[in-house]
Amino acid sequence: MIQKYLRRILFNRWAALIHDLLWVPVAIMAAYWLRFNLHAIPANFLSGSYHLISLALPAYALFFWLFGLYRGIWRFASIPDLIRIIKSVALGSLALTMLGMVQFRLEGVPRTVLVLSPLLLTIGLISSRLGYRLFKDRRLVVRKKEGIVTLVVGAGHAGELLIRELISSDGYQPVAIIDDDHKKHNREIHGVRVLGELAELPQIVSLFDVELVMFAIPSAGRDTVKRVIAECVKSGVECKTLPSIHEMTTGQVEVKQLRPLTLEDLLGRESVKLDQQAIAGYLRGKSVLITGAGGSIGSELCRQVAGLSPSRLILFDNGEFNLYSIDNEMRNTFPELDIITVLGDVKNKDRVNWVFRKFSPHAVFHAAAYKHVPMVELNPAEGVQNNVTGTRIVADAADRHGAERFVLVSTDKAVNPANVMGATKRIAELYCQNIAFRSRTRFITTRFGNVLGSAGSVVPLFQQQIKNGGPVTVTHRDIRRYFMTIPESVSLILQAGAMGQGGEIFVLDMGEPVLIKELAEQMIKLFGKKPGRDIEIVYTGLRPGEKLFEEIFHENENLKGTSHNKLLLAGSRKCNWQWLSDHLGSLEKAATKRDVALLISHIHSVVPEYTGTPIIEEKTDQPQKPLLKVVG
């Protein structure tokens, strides 16, 4: 398939070159013809024309190729292509004149021919390309009278390309364009009128009986997307959008690229620019271990790391099905990559040490964790064993076996934690920060907020509730959370891994927090329904360990900027190693005994800013309504 595609490209390029070279003698002879007032060319000048043509063909061929006339596609010939033609003809003509002077002193070559022939050649090359484009775009001249009645939002470059594609494709009838730029109003793009601004969308939808709105502003921010969704919901019309700028791999716009608006569009942020060279530098050709590989973050880490050409990728997870799923995906997507799939638990010291002894990973991404706040609040001992003991076991193994880097994936809930989950992740941060002072391994921590679409997060819950007809449950009217997409968070984890020297906590810039009530309303609108009328929103009260507002850094951490605008650096907290080891040992013993009161006491000792108190069953003679109780 690839060979066939390459042959086709080469054939098209050679055909275009031959076409252009045929114009060279035509232009020269036409220049002679014009010089002699459209009469026959005198015989004594014909030899000069033949000499000139013999030199012109190789000279122009060289400059045509050097200036890249055959990199472009005639179907999309544009101003840059025309500029390349003018430059190549100008320099080719200069070179031809100099060669003619040297070879035969330009005998039999009138000076007017040297002026007219480049002009005629330029006209010929340009007219051929524009003619071909007009021929291919002939359907743009006639407006289609049938198909899905479509309104396009955006009269910019993407909108123009989309209108062109809609008219050229079957099944769509673009009837109008709207744009908030008043300078564009009442103008036409390929015969389609720009009628008004976004606020007029409902009236235009009603006037033309629009069936589909197409959003063609790939660079649009969150507020614009919100307005489009609101207006489409108000009008009861479906809306599709082009991919964002960083999703579009080419500059071409195609109807098949259109997709429904998603929550990622709604919460859209600037695309993250990464130092790909630095990231690839510490992963290419290296053995990489990812714990929690079957989870939301872990699986995306697998995808992005695999694309950076490691020598080996070790997938470690205790969930059989999740591990099977990511293993199957990786083997299908990266068949040449050496993939090792290990079913195991980070709490199992023997299993973890076996992995390090056998495969000697250079880089470790520790994403294995219990992260569901209410569940860990009800099972605090398991939270400690997985998030604290598990991290300690993997970190110790990385240190003992000489791994180059260890990157801990943490959470904003570790800052001033109000729940056991956040407190255990804070302890994991402290351990990694302090072992870094004693180890040649670079221990790096990354901290960020909620991830859109991750397992157990609020977004999939809302989606399911909306599909079921509601109600959508929100714990509090004022609760806010930070959000970012899974690919964005993983990209920044990899970037932090490249920048870290050991002992740092990199805090990912999460932008502005999102009001969960508004998030629920916007998700309902994405489904084409109206909040409060089609789908109710019910407020259930804060759950155990839940805060109204999450923080991304502690007030004493002295947050500083880094060389990357999306990564901030939090100051580390250095502890006495023996003191920390003793407390963690006591904490782990309390977790093993399921002594929740003692466990909480030890958490307070290590993390004095921890403010949570798990629900512990009280003994009473009075009958009580069954409640969720701490299991231990």
Residue 64: per-residue pLDDT: 83
Residue 414: per-residue pLDDT: 86
Q: What is the pLDDT of residues 409-427, one digit of tens each?
A: 998 888 888 899 999 999 9
Q: What is the pLDDT of residues 45-92, one digit of tens each?
A: 878 788 888 888 888 888 888 887 776 555 556 677 788 888 888 888
Residue 445: per-residue pLDDT: 92
Judged against a pLDDT cut of 70, whether residue 3 lies above it is answered with no
Q: What is the pLDDT of residues 228-241, one digit of tens each?
A: 877 887 777 878 77
Residue 563: per-residue pLDDT: 65
To the nearest whole percent, how much of the chain has pLDDT over 70? 79
Judged against a pLDDT cut of 90, whether residue 452 lies above it is answered with no
- Reported confidence tier of residue 273, pLDDT bands at 50, 70, 90: low
Residue 286: per-residue pLDDT: 94
> Which residue has tokens 């389609």?
192
To the nearest whole percent, how much of the chain has pLDDT over 90? 27
Going by C-alpha positions, the residue among 314, 441, 320 that lies closest to residue 367 is 314
Q: For residue 320, how many other CB atoms are within 10 A of its CB?
A: 10
List helix spans (H) across 307-389: 320-333, 349-359, 373-378, 380-384
List helix spans (H) across 436-556: 458-467, 486-499, 516-526
Residue 547: per-residue pLDDT: 63
* Average confidence (pLDDT) over 8-23: 71
* Average confidence (pLDDT) over 25-33: 87
Residue 106: per-residue pLDDT: 81
DSSP 341-355: EEE--TT-HHHHHHH
Residue 565: per-residue pLDDT: 65
Judged against a pLDDT cut of 90, whether residue 111 lies above it is answered with no
Of the given ranges (509-518, 559-568, 580-589, 607-616), which has the lowest mean pLDDT?
A: 559-568
Of 150-164, 454-468, 615-629, highest mean pLDDT = 150-164
The whole-angstrom separation of Cα 447 and Cα 425 is 10
Of 65-69, 86-90, 146-150, 442-446, highest mean pLDDT = 442-446
Q: What is the pLDDT of residues 609-626, one digit of tens each?
A: 888 765 554 333 444 444
Residue with the bigger pLDDT between 501 and 8: it is 501
Residue 588: per-residue pLDDT: 93
- Reported confidence tier of residue 557, pLDDT bands at 50, 70, 90: low
* Average confidence (pLDDT) over 578-598: 92
> Which residue has tokens 């599709």?
240
Residue with the bigger pLDDT between 93 and 528: it is 93
* Average confidence (pLDDT) over 27-42: 84
Average pLDDT, rounded, for the chain? 80
Going by C-alpha positions, the residue among 422, 383, 375 that lies closest to residue 543 is 375
Q: What is the pLDDT of residues 392-407, one digit of tens each?
A: 999 999 999 999 999 9
Q: Which residues, listed in sequence order, are joined to residue 288 by a DSSP beta bridge?
A: 313, 363
Q: Return all residues near 89 (Cβ < 8 A) that are at least 6 apart.
A: 60, 63, 118, 121, 122, 125
The structure tokens listed for 8 are 């086709």
* Average confidence (pLDDT) over 314-320: 95
Return contacts of 131-137, CB within 8 angstroms, 24+ apart: 132/74, 132/75, 132/77, 133/74, 133/75, 133/76, 133/77, 136/75, 137/164, 137/168
**What residue type is 261 in one-letter code?**
L
> Which residue has tokens 């002295």?
558
The structure tokens listed for 358 are 């056998």
Residue 262: per-residue pLDDT: 67
Cα distance from N-terminal residue to C-terminal residue, the chain: 59
Q: What is the pLDDT of residues 205-263, one digit of tens each?
A: 888 888 888 888 776 766 777 788 778 877 778 787 776 544 444 445 556 667 766 66
All structural domains of the chain: 2-136 (no CATH), 142-261 (3.40.50.720), 282-451+483-510+554-606 (3.40.50.720)
